[in-house]
């Protein structure tokens, strides 16, 4: 493939000496990458052009640094913009205006563009990017007649969702068969070629003809010819454009015009052997004779944003099509293996799969591997494939290594087929100060980012773990959820421990860049963000959440302002529901503040005031509630009760229990609340005669739905009370047994909800005790009028005294 330069370049063919080679590739494919490397070594260009944003030309040399380990991505972002929504990997992210926040151009080691860049840098050949500048792609052109007003410009990654460009972006097996031919070709060129070759799966066809090739002639002339034929079919009159993405044609036209312009510039600079690596769909456009004036007209007047470029780490998971990346592949881990192990890839893959299974204590022998390889090769031969593909390897692993079990195969797929390889970038990569500060803290605290989720247990009594906890909480204030605390706010039942799940995602770099508007260090940015959140908090509960997060993150500079705003808001808020929703977060912060060494004096004043106001306002707030309102009130009561138990202040507990006792006998109290308050007071030792209260609640004169609500509220604290109190169990059993059929059907959902929350052991024990209610007492049961049996209690008493270090009485 040796075309002349595009028409209109002003240089002619330089006496026949200038030569251009255009290599059409799949953006991520091991066969394409190997073929590009061989083709460049044979062609020996004096300039290499790669599809990508030209703004990255100044930092392309970093790709040759030994510390640059793919997968990595070029990141384009608008510097100095106020914090807004983040960007998603592979397709850019749109925030509230007409401009995109960021866009990525990912590269794996098996990406042809990456291999072309590394070849050029190693050979000392100039390399530059030739796609439409990111500054144009991050701005919506409102003057575009083809664009939807609500559709932002196409992101600049190689092979975005709207681009049918490079082969290797199939839309799925056979899913274009019923569309008009022109639209099917534009949206899925690979699928069209695969069906013409007799395949029902475009990815399998591309693997067979390109990715699984190791030797033989270059595939690029055939690819160019196929794409030329497809595009010529689209030039026929009456092309059906229905269903194409808004503005698609105009975006593609602009991108290809800029590629031709960059090629002309390279030739004009005196380069005589220019290699272009681009998506195969664009090859005919670059070879076509188009006047330079025509391309200038297409590109004239495009809006442009100021952007900055950098390199960021990427992951194989973000290269997968399932992640939403339009140019993604199904199996980046498999493709990486094919590129790194061209010799006996099937044998090496199944050997690695056996190792993964052995690490999980599953028995896999060498004989298993040998038989699996034979089966994979036999399947490939039966299906006429040049090499066993992932489908054959998976089937062989399932049948032989996994012995037909699906879960071990899922383990292999998760660890190997996609994988979570995380790349790295050199220290000298351009970064905002906030990113550098975070990297310094990661090194100091020995918290290494990983693409695999892992648990991190922190003991807050250790200074290093305490600093780790503060860093993770500060990042969460900046919406960088590198660490996610487990349930109960990341705390275990003890005071001194936290458990986090850590997993680094590439888009965190975008979020750090956006958060850099708050400050240049993690501590400073988190402080400024907390102050802004407190100033714009819409509800009291939001303010209490900010106060709690400030304490967890040790943001002493922000806390006084937050506490002033909290005290002012709490003083004027008269809604008891708001006060009850706000209290738990404050109590948690107060209870655990001493562990972190943070001052909580002002917080205690706010908590004391809230408790008094809640106790005064609760009685009128719970009267005359319907079912939905009662259930919401029940959740708030439970939350306040748990918070005060955690606070463990005798005066507040006494005041709260007195309030509950005054409410439980009020008229028009919903049955759900009455039952729950009865249970809370019983557990606190403040409710005698509970059996009589339950008897009245479930008597024949009570409405079945109210009785069921009372029972649900009473039992919502756990079923152990029915295990240990036979009288209450008999009352519940007799009430349920005496319900008429229609009433039983009506209350059954409430009963299922009450008992469904119990553990299996509790339900089983209750069932066993109900079965014995009408029979003789079991040996372990004691009559209600008997006290503790000292003879039966003696062994347990002796054991308890021995544990406490006391001697059992003789």
Q: Is 139 helix (H, G, I), strand (E, B) or coil?
A: strand
| Residues 518/524, Cβ–Cβ less than 8 Å | yes
**Which one, of 481, 493, 6, lies nearest residue 282 by Cα?**
6
User: So what's the pLDDT on residue 717?
Assistant: 67
> Between these two residues, 65 and 247, which has the higher pLDDT value?
65
User: So what's the pLDDT on residue 169?
Assistant: 36
| Residues 168/27, Cβ–Cβ less than 8 Å | yes
**223, two tokens:** 């690819």
Could you give phi then psi for residue 41, rounded to 5 degrees?
-65, -35
Q: Is 308 helix (H, G, I), strand (E, B) or coil?
A: strand
Q: What is the average pLDDT value for the chain, to the nearest integer?
A: 78
User: So what's the pLDDT on residue 592?
Assistant: 64
Question: What one-character-per-residue DSSP string does 322-350 give?
Answer: GGT-TT-BS-HHHHHHHHH--SSHHHHHH
pLDDT in tens, 515-558: 888 888 999 999 999 988 888 887 777 888 888 888 888 888 88
Please say if the pLDDT value at position 45 is more than 80: yes
Residue 495 banded pLDDT, cuts 50, 70, 90: low
pLDDT in tens, 130-182: 999 998 888 754 344 343 333 333 333 333 333 333 333 333 333 334 444 44
Residue 204 banded pLDDT, cuts 50, 70, 90: confident
Spatial distance between the Cα atoms of 173 and 161, rounded to a whole number of angstroms: 17
| Residues 642/679, Cβ–Cβ less than 8 Å | no
User: So what's the pLDDT on residue 193?
Assistant: 77
Name residues whose C-beta falls within 8 Å of residue 154's C-beta, 6 or more positions apart in sequence.
Answer: 137, 160, 162, 163, 247, 251
**What is the mean predicted confidence (pLDDT) over 188-196?**
73
User: So what's the pLDDT on residue 729?
Assistant: 75
Please say if the pLDDT value at position 12 is more than 60: no
pLDDT exceeding 90 applies to what percent of the chain?
23
Convert 134-144 to b/e letters by CB count within 10 Å (16 or more is b).
bbbbbbbbeeb
User: So what's the pLDDT on residue 347?
Assistant: 92
- 3-class DSSP string for 350-369: HHHHHHHHHHCCCCCCHHHH
**What is the mean predicted confidence (pLDDT) over 200-223?**
76
Please say if the pLDDT value at position 1 is more than 90: no
**Which one, of 166, 176, 295, 196, lies nearest residue 240 by Cα?**
176
Spatial distance between the Cα atoms of 24 and 277, rounded to a whole number of angstroms: 6
**Which one, of 169, 154, 158, lies nearest residue 114 by Cα?**
158
Residue 475 banded pLDDT, cuts 50, 70, 90: very high
pLDDT exceeding 70 applies to what percent of the chain?
80
Given CA atoms 89, 91, 95, 99 in this order, what sign does their dihedral have? positive
Q: State the greatest distance between any 2 C-alpha atoms of the chain, in Å, as a whole number.
A: 115
User: So what's the pLDDT on residue 82?
Assistant: 41
Q: Where are the domains of the chain?
A: 14-79+100-323, 343-418, 433-515
**What is the mean predicted confidence (pLDDT) over 202-230?**
78
Please say if the pLDDT value at position 726 is more than 70: yes
**What is the mean predicted confidence (pLDDT) over 683-698?**
76
Peptide bond into 246 cis (omega under 30): no
How far from 177 is each of 32, 356, 701, CA to CA, in Å? 27, 40, 69
pLDDT in tens, 749-804: 777 777 777 777 777 887 888 777 765 555 545 444 455 677 778 888 888 888 87
How far from 319 is each of 115, 134, 214, 325, 419, CA to CA, in Å? 17, 20, 23, 7, 10
Instruction: Write out the E strands in 100-234.
Output: 100-107, 127-129
Q: Identify the bridge partners of residue 315 per DSSP, sorted by sequence position.
A: 422
Please say if the pLDDT value at position 301 is more than 70: yes
| Residues 259/52, Cβ–Cβ less than 8 Å | no
Model confidence, pTM: 0.67
**191, two tokens:** 């699928």
**What is the mean predicted confidence (pLDDT) over 378-396?**
88
| Residues 653/644, Cβ–Cβ less than 8 Å | yes
| Residues 733/691, Cβ–Cβ less than 8 Å | no
Residue 492 banded pLDDT, cuts 50, 70, 90: very low
**What is the mean predicted confidence (pLDDT) over 50-73?**
93
Least confident segment among 2-11, 455-464, 790-799 = 2-11
pLDDT in tens, 421-440: 888 899 899 888 899 999 99
User: So what's the pLDDT on residue 166?
Assistant: 35
Residue 627 banded pLDDT, cuts 50, 70, 90: confident
């Amino acid at each position: 493939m040796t075309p002349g330069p595009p028409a209109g370049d002003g240089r002619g063919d330089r006496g026949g000496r200038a030569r251009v080679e255009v290599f059409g590739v799949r953006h991520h494919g091991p066969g394409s990458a190997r073929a590009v490397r061989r083709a460049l070594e044979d062609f020996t260009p004096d300039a290499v052009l790669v599809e990508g944003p030209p703004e990255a030309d100044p930092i392309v040399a970093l790709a040759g640094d030994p510390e640059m380990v793919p997968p990595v991505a070029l990141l384009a972002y608008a510097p100095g913009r106020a914090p807004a929504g983040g960007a998603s990997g592979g397709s850019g992210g749109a925030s509230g205006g007409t401009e995109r926040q960021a866009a990525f151009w990912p590269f794996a080691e098996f990406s042809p563009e990456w291999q072309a860049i590394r070849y050029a840098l190693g050979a000392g050949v100039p390399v530059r990017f030739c796609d439409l500048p990111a500054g144009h792609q991050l701005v919506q052109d409102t003057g575009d007649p083809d664009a939807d007003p609500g559709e932002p410009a196409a992101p600049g990654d190689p092979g975005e969702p709207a681009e049918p460009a490079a082969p290797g972006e199939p839309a799925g097996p056979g899913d274009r068969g019923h569309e008009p031919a022109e639209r099917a070709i534009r949206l899925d060129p690979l699928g069209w070629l695969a069906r013409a070759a007799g395949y029902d799966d475009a990815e399998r066809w591309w693997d067979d003809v390109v990715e699984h090739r190791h030797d033989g002639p270059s595939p690029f002339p055939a690819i160019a010819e196929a794409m030329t034929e497809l595009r010529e079919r689209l030039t026929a009159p009456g092309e059906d454009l229905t269903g194409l993405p808004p503005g698609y044609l105009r975006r593609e036209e602009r991108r290809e015009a800029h590629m031709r312009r960059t090629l002309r510039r390279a030739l004009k600079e005196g380069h005589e052997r220019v290699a272009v690596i681009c998506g195969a769909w664009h090859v005919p456009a670059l070879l076509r004779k188009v006047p330079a004036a025509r391309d200038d007209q297409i590109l004239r007047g495009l809006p442009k944003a100021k952007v900055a470029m950098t390199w960021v780490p990427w992951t194989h998971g973000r290269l997968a099509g399932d992640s939403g990346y339009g140019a993604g592949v199904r199996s980046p881990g498999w493709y990486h293996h094919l590129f790194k192990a061209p010799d006996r890839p099937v044998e090496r893959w199944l050997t690695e799969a056996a190792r993964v299974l052995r690490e999980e204590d599953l028995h896999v022998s060498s004989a298993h591997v040998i038989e699996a390889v034979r089966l994979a090769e036999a399947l490939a031969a039966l299906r006429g494939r040049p090499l066993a593909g992932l489908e054959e390897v998976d089937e062989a692993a399932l049948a032989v290594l996994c012995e037909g079990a699906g879960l071990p195969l899922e383990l292999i797929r998760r660890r190997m087929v996609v994988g979570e390889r995380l790349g790295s970038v050199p220290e000298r990569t351009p970064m905002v100060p906030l990113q550098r500060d975070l990297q310094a803290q990661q090194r100091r605290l020995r918290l290494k980012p990983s693409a695999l989720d892992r648990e991190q247990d922190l003991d807050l009594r250790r200074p290093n773990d305490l600093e780790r906890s503060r860093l993770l909480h500060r990042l969460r204030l900046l919406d960088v959820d590198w660490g996610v605390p487990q349930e109960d706010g990341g705390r275990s039942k003890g005071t001194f421990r936290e458990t986090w799940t850590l997993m680094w995602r590439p888009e965190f770099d975008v979020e750090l860049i956006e958060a850099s508007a708050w400050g240049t260090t993690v501590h400073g940015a988190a402080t400024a963000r907390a102050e802004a959140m407190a100033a714009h908090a819409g509800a009291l509960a939001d303010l209490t959440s900010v106060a709690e997060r400030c304490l967890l993150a040790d943001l002493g500079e922000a806390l006084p302002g937050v506490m002033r705003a909290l005290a002012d808001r709490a003083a004027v808020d008269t809604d008891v529901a708001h006060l009850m929703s706000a209290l738990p977060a404050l109590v948690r912060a107060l209870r655990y503040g001493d562990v972190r060494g943070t001052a909580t004096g002002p917080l205690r004043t706010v908590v004391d005031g809230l408790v008094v106001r809640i106790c005064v306002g609760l009685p009128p707030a719970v009267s005359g509630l319907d079912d939905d309102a009662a259930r919401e009130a029940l959740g708030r009561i439970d939350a306040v009760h748990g918070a005060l138990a955690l606070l463990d202040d005798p005066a507040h507990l006494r005041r709260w229990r007195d309030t509950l006792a005054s409410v439980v006998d009020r008229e028009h109290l919903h049955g759900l609340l009455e039952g729950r308050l009865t249970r809370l007071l019983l557990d606190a030792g403040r409710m005698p005669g509970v059996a009589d209260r339950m008897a009245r609640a479930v008597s024949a004169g009570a409405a079945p739905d109210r009785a069921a609500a009372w029972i649900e509220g009473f039992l919502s604290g756990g079923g152990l009370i029915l295990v240990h109190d036979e009288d209450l169990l008999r009352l519940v059993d007799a009430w349920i047994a005496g319900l008429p059929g229609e009433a039983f059907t009506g209350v059954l959902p409430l009963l299922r909800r009450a008992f469904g929350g119990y553990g299996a052991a509790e339900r089983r024990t209750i069932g066993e005790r109900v079965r014995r209610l009408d029979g003789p007492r079991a040996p372990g049961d004691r009559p209600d009028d008997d006290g503790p049996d000292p003879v039966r209690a003696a062994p347990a008493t002796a054991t308890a005294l021995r544990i406490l270090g006391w001697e059992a009485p003789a």
